[in-house]
Amino acid sequence: MADEALRSQVRQWIAEAPRIAVLTGAGMSAESGVPTFRDALTGLWARFNPEELATETAFRAHPQRVWAWYAHRRAALVQVAPNAGHLALAGFALRHPGRLTLITQNVDDLHQRAGLVDTIALHGSLLDDRWLDPPRTCCHIEPIQDGEPPSCPVCGNLRRPSVVWFGESLPSAALAAAEAAAHDCDLMLVVGTSGVVYPAAGLAFTAHQHGARVAIINPEPSDLDPVADVCLRELAAQSLPPLLETS
């Protein structure tokens, strides 16, 4: 099929599907200017391996270093904004309450800033933090000390970035919600992901196995292409507005 015929087919599927799940990855954020994790290892950070900056072991060994790395990444997000693809998804969800479930591997909150407040963030949020160890009573009633990272002034418990580090499990509630959406959807749009990170990539297989159509929007081939009914080799900001804004 020619490209326009493929787009028309996906538009029709979107119009007809009672339940749509959307899985987004780093490529969609890159279109807004957000560096991928490894692309952000530049300048002072170029000498570090990911495992030195994104594991619990690294944080416990060098909390100031890891906190500074995430502060650097948080500061970079101030310079970026949701792109046309984020806005198209949010607009569709607003016009069609209850039809679209957004699942993202990204931690930049761009979907939420675009208006999709119910986004299922599988890998957490770069802009939030949480306690490193289970909080004690003092962690709730005492002020957090200023510091890098901040800590409880009574027990010393540290705050850490609320993202999923290497070797950690995905948040159980987010994963369960994502799996339910993949199981129940009639159409899954897979946008801007290479499909190599699991368990997120497995959601496309779940959707396919339970009878949903799968449409991939990605300028490059991905590991999920074998389960796709249609592959549109386009950027999200280019492809999603005409697919969604007429529905």
Which residues are known to be catalytic? 123
Token pair, residue 81, equals: 């904004």
Burial bucket for residue 226 (CB in 10 Å: 0-12, 13-18, 19+): exposed
Buried-exposed string 58-97: b where 16+ CB fall within 10 A, e elsewhere: bbeeebeebbbbbeebeeebeebebbbbbbbbbbbbeeee
Token pair, residue 110, equals: 């761009």
Residues 6+ apart with CB under 8 A from 14: 20, 187, 243, 244, 247
Q: How far apart are CA 61 and CA 79, in angstroms?
A: 31
Cβ-contact 29, 83 below 8 angstroms: no
Residue 227 to residues 37, 159, 214, 216, Cα–Cα distance (Å): 27, 41, 7, 9
Query: How many residues are given for the chain?
Result: 247
